[in-house]
Amino acid sequence: MPAGMLYLDHAATSPVRPEVLAAMRPYLTDVFGNPSSHHTAGEAAAAALEDARAQVAAFLGMRARDVVFTSGGTEANNLAVKGIVLGGERRHLVTTPIEHESVLESAAYLQRFHGVDTTLLPVDAHGAVDPTTLSDAITDDTALVSFAHANNEIGTVQDAAAVIAVARDRGVPVHVDAVQSAGWVDLAGLQADAVSIAGHKLGAPKGTGALGVRSRIPIEPLLHGGGQERGRRSGTENVAGAVALAAAVTLADTERAAAAASVGEEVRAFIAEVLRTVPGSALTGSPTSRLPGVASFTFAGTSGEAVLLELERRGVVSSSGSACAAGSDEPSPVLLALGIPAAVAQTAVRFTFDRTPPPAGLGARLAALVADAVRAVAA
């Protein structure tokens, strides 16, 4: 990243934190053993792996035996959706149209190859699910309810407690994709049956993540082999990655409340100033139930990609939405599901902040740059 650039695409990825790099370094060098090996080097690695598992479990509000280390959020979501559905006899899945591609494509796979029906719950204009629609959607054949705690494009935070309560009342397990909400919202109190997180959103390296899935939930593994991770994810474990993830979630949990307050205050000021000064601007997602570090807008009458280029010329790096859909010329399915017209959806620009307390007045200065960039595109 060039000096002086303001990086505001943390929903896509964040840099590795120095504390995390320091924690994992010994397991890339001196403590290199295979944790399945029964000798001193292997036992040292196994001890570090189990310590990391306990830390991640505490972050998720689960037991250590519930944590499965994965290569990231996509694998965790695939393991949850495919694994839990295929681990039982029921063949109906309930999710929403605004989920991450890793959930929606898993649902499509299950339908193509295993005859699993999927119900997509509608969302309102802010991207929120009405829990009463879930109760109507659940049948005697429902195997799983899967939803994102917070949407990666618009930042809307679902009423997870209400959704989980409805599913639990009907005896259906719930998977929560917490890749975006981890580090911003308390996950230990969720009481979900399965929770996905990704390390690279939290200051750990790409290629690290975990699925917390309660041991009472039957799950079919995606990867077969030596039976690591209690038979739920075979393959030699990435010990350094697990240690890095544990360090990242521990830091995030310690900083969460203060970060949400300081970042949230500046982002709210930024949102208000953009809406006040930029003609045609509109906030996407909930104005209240949203992640503190997400501000996503449409700028009617412009091109979102052109605005992004103008912002980068002014030293601001942001995005048009999900990094996993980068390069697509199609309007965001998330924004279309909110009822936003396709032409307007293609003007979307998303700003996502990390948990570092921003300098005072950043919101107003950033809004001025946005206004200048939009004017340049509209001219």
The pairing of strands 194-198 and 174-177 is parallel
**Structure-block tokens of residue 179:** 């890749």
Q: 293-332 as b/e, with b when 16 or more CB fall inside 10 Å?
A: bbbbbbbeebebebbbebbeebebbbbbbbeebeeeeebb
HEC profile of 129-163: ECHHHHHHHCCCCEEEEEEECECCCCCEECCHHHH
Question: Which one from 22, 125, 188, 324 is the annotated catalytic residue?
Answer: 324
Q: How far is CA 172 from CA 104, 247, 368, in A?
A: 19, 33, 48
Tell me whether residue 324 is one of the annotated catalytic residues: yes
The vertex-294 CA angle with 305 and 195, nearest 5°, equals 115
Q: Give Cα separations from 345 to 50, 127, 224 (angstroms).
A: 45, 14, 41
Contact 34, 210 (CB under 8 A): no
Q: Reduced to 3 states, what is the DSSP secondary structure of residue 315?
A: coil
Q: Distance (Å, rounded) from C-alpha 82 to C-alpha 80?
A: 6
Q: Other CB atoms closer than 10 Å to residue 13's CB: what's the count?
A: 16
d(CA 131, CA 263): 29
In a 3-state reduction of DSSP, which class is residue 123? strand
Residue 99: strand, helix, or coil:
coil
Picking from 213, 251, 184, 276, the residue whose alpha carbon sits closest to that of residue 85 is 213
Q: What are phi and psi of 346, to 5 degrees?
A: -75, 0
* Cα torsion through 88, 94, 100, 106, rounded to 10: 40
Whether 145 contacts 160, CB under 8 Å: no
Q: State the catalytic residues.
A: 324
